[in-house]
Structure 1
Amino acid sequence: MSKKNVIIIGAAGRDFHNFNTYFRGNESYNVVAFTAAQIPDIEGRKYPAELAGDLYPDGISIYAEEDLNRLIKELNVDDCVFSYSDVSYQHVMSIGAKVNAAGANFVMLGPRDTQIKSTKPVISVGAVRTGCGKSQTSRRIIELLMEKNLKVVAIRHPMPYGDIAAQKVQRFAKLSDLEKHNCTLEEMEEYEKYRSKDNPNEKFERREYQK
């Protein structure tokens, strides 16, 4: 049986997670490209071979989403996997219609294929869009757990502004780690709140959850 050629439609976040959990090492598929929206200056880069695995020794190219129609035809794509958020139902289905019109299947992966098993108790904080208050909610949950004398670690996926390979695992145990990992001002504003005298918790960023 021949491999299916796949494009993952994303925004340098959930798309990388979907690749790592479902497609990496999966010999039934050949991921030929990522496309990027929302985040500036992502297209033209590559998802590095170090994270892509043995099936992708040259890494995987990232293109602008506006090139999707052309890529489907030029790369003989079978499936396009939608993998980002902060968009309306109308936007998602509009992308799906464009994918189908270009001759490919439109796919969305479910939780059974993408969730990660943990050996520790986990509280997951999510929202329908950016700016709903996930950070404040997360910090309040940490405060409540600390009141019960529990050790708490916060985990999130890294923002994709820096070296993607260097971001496979980042540990923030003290404020100086923010400079060590070359954090942007946006990242510093988010992470330093986890290191106050009243909230001395570690924070991890993981793009590579097997490490």
Structure 2
Amino acid sequence: MNNVVLRLSNVKKTYRSGDEGSLPVLQGVDFTLHAGELVALVAPSGTGKSTLLHLAGLLDTPDEGDIEIAGQNTRGLADAGRTALRRDQIGFVYQFHHLLAEFTAQENVMLPQMIAGVRKAEARVKAQHLLGQFGLAHRVKHLPGKLSGGEQQRVAIARALANNPVLLLADEPTGNLDVRTADAVFDELLNAVRGQGLAALVATHNEELLARMDRVMTLRDGKLVERVQP
């Protein structure tokens, strides 16, 4: 396959503290993610899952190694270039929805589009369409505080997809939901990823979701390795 969306090559990251010295977290990660591929990241807390996602999402920079997004090497890329790549190519979903409380569901999905230069009317239509896909056509005018947990997370996923990213990064996207709601939300996330041909890297502790993934990766001794499924 040559449709590589994310490539990590010998990525290393160490956190340093004046009192505690240094803590190596990632020690030479190599990983390739293709369009249309859904990969799970499963590892114990404190092993570097969030660090890896932050690096892949250009929210942090590695000490060593290369990170390529859609064929573009980000090494040495200026802040403006990194911001543009995040905005145009990457969608993020977190355990907590992080919706803006003073804006409606529709406005939350419109905002990233408008930041990217999309006209307000066009952004509104796109937001209504996405929210409708997630069964929220009747909730577009509601503030986040008036939505259930599952509805809030659906809005967050719609927002992540608003700018047609090529890469979706999700950190425990259903970890804050009850089992039944988590199952339904993950089904919708999976359908969206498959339908749009995105590359998705999803950190999760939910073992029941793993059978639906193309691959399952884990962190071992600071390196990313494929976990053999039973």
By percentage of residues, which structure has more strand?
A: 2
Q: Same fold (TM over 0.5)?
A: no
TM-score calculated relative to the size of structure 1:
0.28
Which structure: larger Rg?
1
Structure 2-normalised TM-score?
Answer: 0.26
